[in-house]
Amino acid sequence: MRMQYGLGSWLFSNRQSCGLGRLGVVFVLASIAAVLVGWVSSCVRGPEEMSTNTSISATEAGRDWYVSMTGNDSNTGSAGHPWATIQHAAGEVTPGDTVHVAPGLYSSAVKTLGSGMPSARIRFISDVKWGAKLNVTMSYAAWENRGDYVDIEGFDISGDGNLGILNLGSFVRILGNHVHDIPAKCNANGGAGIDHGEYAAHDNDTIGNVVDNIGDVNAACPRVQGIYHANLRGHVWNNIAFNNQGYGIHLWHAPVNVVVANNLVFHNGDGGILVGAGDAPGKVIADGMVVTNNIILENGTWGAGWAIVESGRIGTRNIYANNISWRNRRGIGLENGHDSGTISSDPKLVRYMNDGSGDYHLAAASPAIGAGTQTGAPPIDFDGYVRPQTKLDIGPYQEGSGEPIWPWSY
């Protein structure tokens, strides 16, 4: 039996009621992990379309920098003499560098401009998952990234603007963060917890994040989303998105060949998952999507409440398979996509609560156990454990693993 870890006790024991807003190491041989990811990628798209972003490989050695609440930006940035701000560290990093951020409350917005390289990524990591808390005021986005090949890992992010993490780069990975409580004014720009918002960018991943309370879940506004993906390729894997004003996961503008798999999406205002294209940049058709192994329940506090819906300019190669839809206002509404293996029954989570205080692992009798497909599936689960090649589960948690691992390795 696996040990059960309630998201409520882990996530909200020290939760802050701040406003916020739109637009573990896996202990396996790297070769095994690489095979897993390569297999998944090959199932999703042909070799000519594969993203190099999914490969699990060692980053070329760079420097380690340190940030602490007790630091000073005039220090050297070493473990013994850390800097005080993430922003200062962002101005010092070069390809291959890692910025380690100690637990504490950081109040300054962050803008990261530097780019890494395919084998030498730039990495910002909260060494204790959600221990480094970025609570930002007077800023439209709490964290804006414009660099390529950048990782943002394990931060607790909130604020009083419209966006939690805004990414405008390519080959960027948003991993294991908790983005929450952003008011996100309902205006023309809208808001999101995590937003891959540059239409010309590509190959961005959103993996294992918890995104909640973006906007007001009870107020009608179609412009504020939990996770927003607006560009070519990428993976939306193992996320938990709930109590967001619009959709939990929303693909729009220029998404093509995007994978949305093994997420848990519940109690969002407008609906669960939307796949579509329209508006700027124009002429993009949302095609080649893979939407598999998701649990979508109880969506539509004010909106249509689709579990999954296609909208706008839609292609004919979208795949929807082995998803669980339960107690949404509406089920799955597709224009051109193909739906198979949908389960319309209670997913039987250990303790479902729609405010995030529950335990969202799978109970022993869950129909999600062993009912997933390998198509599009991530190589690990939310807790950081390798998923099997057979009897894959639906949702972010694979039944039978142990205590959560941090950090992960991709």
| Model confidence pLDDT, tens digit, residues 331-355 | 999 999 889 999 999 999 999 999 9
- In what side-by-side order are the strands of the sheet with 290-292? 64-67, 98-101, 122-126, 150-153, 173-175, 202-207, 232-237, 259-261, 290-292, 319-321, 338-340
The long-range contacts involving 2-5, CB below 8 angstroms and separated by at least 24 positions, are: 2/361, 2/399, 2/400, 2/401, 2/402, 3/402, 3/403, 4/350, 4/359, 4/361, 5/359, 5/361, 5/383, 5/403, 5/404
The two structure tokens encoding residue 379: 């190589």
SS3 312: strand
CA-CA-CA-CA dihedral for 348, 238, 193, 406, to nearest 10? 110
pLDDT of residue 197: 97
Higher pLDDT, 30 or 407: 407
Domains and CATH numbers, the chain: 7-362 (2.160.20.10)
Residue 103 pLDDT more than 90?
A: yes
pLDDT (tens digit, 9 = 90+) per residue, 38-90? 333 333 333 334 343 443 334 567 999 999 999 999 999 999 999 999 999 99
Mean pLDDT for the stretch of residues 261-266: 99
Q: Could you write out the DSSP letters of every residue in 233-295?
A: EEEEES-EEES-SSEEEEE-SS--S-EEES-EEES-SSEEEEEEE-STT-S--B-S-EEES-E
What integer pLDDT is reported at residue 46 of this predicted model? 36
In terms of Cα–Cα distance, which of 351, 354, 309 is closest to 327?
A: 354
Cα–chain-centroid distance for residue 404? 17
Element (H, E) at 141: strand 141-145
The token duo for 380 is 């690990």
Q: How confident is the model at residue 18 (pLDDT cuts 50, 70, 90)?
A: very low
Q: What sign results for the dihedral spanned by CA atoms 97, 165, 180, 193?
A: negative
- Say whether pLDDT at 385 is over 80: yes
Q: What is the mean pLDDT of residues 243-252?
A: 98
For the CA atoms of 272, 275, 279, 285, what is the dihedral angle to 10 degrees? 180
Residue 372's pLDDT is what? Answer: 98
Q: Which helix (H) or strand (E) holds 307?
A: strand 306-312
Of the pLDDT bands very low, low, confident and very high (cuts 50, 70, 90), residue 401 is confident
| Angle, CA 105 vertex, CA 102 and CA 110 arms, to 5° | 85
CA angle at residue 143 from 132 to 186, to 5 degrees? 120
pLDDT of the residue at 52: 36
